[in-house]
Structure 1
């Protein structure tokens, strides 16, 4: 009898082990295109004059002298210059921060620019807008078909916006940090990091409603949520980490449910992350309310956050998983390096696309991870790469995507996915030291990966 029990226990353990195993699958570069880092557009004609020069507040003091302050990657990343200076004349198109699953009627892809310059306090002159874009893998260029600026003429935003007293009431990076986008029935749905909020808007950018996140019957807030004050205690007065809101927000086919995935673990009452997992909360677009259901996504070793989240069929979805590094690992700085001008103190290591199945959830609420591909190990036998990568190793026949923030993924067709980066203009330089990262779009052939269940 004991032998039977032991054998049964071993069989169950073996089953659970195989069911939870996550296999790595190969990826081949099938196309490469990019939008140059310094791509600027003019604000709408009825926008405040203030919006014609953006990035005036990225330093310690207001600065109206255009292109006078050189951008760099920051001390933690070696203080490498990026070759682009602030403030800008016009609005930067930079920062692709999400792909919509559904495309426009002309086949173009909905994507969006984030809050501007990385923080609420330094982005009050950065307008918020989304785009329709089409990458051309023959020419290597990305066509910007249209850009639409978000505005709140009907005063649907429940707090005072930066351009409150204007007639046009355009939204800025001091109001929201849009990081994920979906297109449904002619309307735009945007996931925000500050609230975190979900924003519903018309296709021409007019806000229709704003929804505060609810988790377990309580409002979920962060340090940048309006109403959070300086003395607020992390974990007690707010639970979402800074820059930890909706980095990914997937639209489930057939149900019209939005699955909002937070970028970072939420905080427990002690002010520390509750675990090595992310919360996923569902919102019913038909009813305009939260379902009350929530799930968990387990981060792999070394991963710190996610970048995007999109369904590929009724239950399976793609998730970008990343660390906080940038640059090729072969150029890692020595531990005792004093001069970091030609090396990366925090090189890119964990950059993955994970395939998950939302229909397979264990008793603890964890969504099953099925498989992954490694964006630092992409085959390029046909020489499709059009941009050179700084490295101290032979990358012949190989391609890497060594960016700090990789924030866009979608199913392109039955065997391909499309991936893009957020270049954090002018603060990231993952491809080459001393050169601002472009907005790259890569087409990956991953048929075997997409077939996994």
Structure 2
């Protein structure tokens, strides 16, 4: 699908992946936040935000819980059993873990823009959380939910709730996909701009930064100011839904390493190569450093899901394809897609990279990876109703968007369940927000 920018770039990067080691992964814990988990909007939120998902169809839907979500044509049009619009705001969509935890040990997690696009998410509020998965009981506690708002008018464009006093942000404004906690502030990477957003612990927007690569602004089709019609590759270079899916905080330098989800577009409107751009931002100087790097995608991977350092130079990256569902239940030719997965999961990896090892083309060295579709479970940690029919435990979700180091032997991984549009665990049932604890000492020790 992707063409290389230059033959030299491909030749340099390919051998590293061809020889890359696959490390074992063992399931050490499993916890679930149920798919239909809702939160109540703040008391001063506009009444419009007390029912969400009203604009997810071709026409406005006002009757709560009246239209069932489904996975879409490419994924078999499987119903998910959950109906829109929602009374309240869905917690769904874990789209990032912060490396640093809160003072009480809970994890900062992020919910994405709502229902997938600017057009269908103007009544979906934006927020982050503190969560505590309990791998002994299998439950996930939501300790706090903080709603994003812009009372000081720091956002450089008109927001959906422009005329209100509270100015709560919605999925029509930003698509937050990555999060870090640094010096008391929350930093969020957005896909629409792509923008970097600095907010206080209370959700108040403090700064919004546009993206620069080689001194030039990077924009996408959903960036405020992009006029339609616009020519891909010339009027914008960032693909739709291709902004900051991953943004890592480097402990040694305090720099934010912001990674695009998809390849940039070249002047011909096509992806510039099978690699992703990474730019570094200095929170102290409030500016881009001017340095940039490249992350090489494995064969079959189309995007990344998260990016987090585990020490001063090594980091974890989730890479994935667009598949969903257990490959053991892939549709045979001519089969009724209602009973199988037409586009099953094939590539779902956690990759370890070394940012201190960069070749002359700017490619960050890949050290090795674990395969999320081949996880051993000798102790039977997988929760009932979430186990495969046969074989090893798998994490076969379309969007796996959260990874963080827990200790010297373990990492934690979670999915974005795209409520109510994904059902990768079971046909006919919306995917839950699953948190898995993986024992991967060999991966974490690799150099």
Q: TM-score, normalised by structure 2?
A: 0.96
Matched position secondary structure for 1:399? coil
Matched position secondary structure for 2:339? coil
Tell me how far 1:335 sits from its aligned partner.
Answer: 2.6
Tell me how far 1:185 sits from its aligned partner.
Answer: 1.0
2:246 to 221, 245, 248: 248
Tell me how far 1:357 sits from its aligned partner.
Answer: 0.3
Matched position secondary structure for 1:76? helix
2:191 is the counterpart of 1:193: yes
What's the CA shift string for 1:181-229, capped at 9, x where partnerless?
A: 0001110000000000000000010000000000111100000000112
Contact 1:419–1:443 (CA under 8 A) maintained in structure 2: yes
Q: Considering only CA atoms, is the larger Rg found in Structure 1 or Structure 2? A: 1
C-alpha distance in 2 between matches for 1:390 and 1:64: 37
Residues 19-98 of structure 1: pairs in structure 2 closer than 5 A: 21-98=19-96
2:380 is the counterpart of 1:383: yes
Q: Which residue of 2 aligns with 1:394?
A: 390
Cα RMSD (Å) of the superposition? 1.3
Contact 1:179–1:247 (CA under 8 A) maintained in structure 2: yes
C-alpha distance in 1 between matches for 2:178 and 2:311: 19
Contact 2:17–2:298 (CA under 8 A) maintained in structure 1: no
C-alpha distance in 1 between matches for 2:246 and 2:265: 19
2:212 is the counterpart of 1:214: yes
Q: Which residue of 2 aligns with 1:420?
A: 414
What's the CA shift string for 1:408-428, capped at 9, x where partnerless?
A: 000011100000000000000
Matched position secondary structure for 1:330? helix
Q: Which residue of 1 aligns with 2:6?
A: none
Contact 1:390–1:433 (CA under 8 A) maintained in structure 2: no
Q: Which residue of 1 aligns with 2:364?
A: 367
Residues 249-288 of structure 1: pairs in structure 2 closer than 5 A: 249-288=247-286
Tell me how far 1:230 sits from its aligned partner.
Answer: 1.5
Tell me how far 1:394 sits from its aligned partner.
Answer: 2.0
Contact 2:244–2:259 (CA under 8 A) maintained in structure 1: yes
Question: How many residue pairs are counted as aligned between the two chains?
Answer: 435
Matched position secondary structure for 1:378? coil
Q: Which residue of 1 aligns with 2:397?
A: 403
Structure 1 residues 124 and 18, CA gap change in structure 2 (3 angstroms):
closer
Q: Which residue of 2 aligns with 1:149?
A: 147
1:321 to 311, 319, 322: 319
Structure 1 residues 117 and 18, CA gap change in structure 2 (3 angstroms):
closer
Residues 322-361 of structure 1: pairs in structure 2 closer than 5 A: 322-337=320-335, 339-361=336-358
Structure 2, unaligned runs of 5 or more:
1-10
Contact 1:282–1:293 (CA under 8 A) maintained in structure 2: yes
Structure 1, unaligned runs of 5 or more:
1-12
Tell me how far 1:18 sits from its aligned partner.
Answer: 7.5
C-alpha distance in 1 between matches for 2:237 and 2:227: 14
What's the CA shift string for 1:296-338, capped at 9, x where partnerless?
A: 000000000000000000000000000000000011112322x
Matched position secondary structure for 1:341? helix
Contact 1:20–1:368 (CA under 8 A) maintained in structure 2: no
Q: TM-score, normalised by structure 1?
A: 0.94
Contact 2:254–2:282 (CA under 8 A) maintained in structure 1: yes
Contact 1:28–1:446 (CA under 8 A) maintained in structure 2: yes
C-alpha distance in 1 between matches for 2:19 and 2:327: 26
Matched position secondary structure for 2:49? helix
C-alpha distance in 2 between matches for 1:394 and 1:93: 31
2:431 to 419, 437, 440: 437
2:440 to 430, 442, 446: 446
C-alpha distance in 2 between matches for 1:311 and 1:183: 13
Contact 1:21–1:370 (CA under 8 A) maintained in structure 2: no
Tell me how far 1:114 sits from its aligned partner.
Answer: 0.2
Q: Which residue of 2 aligns with 1:100?
A: 98
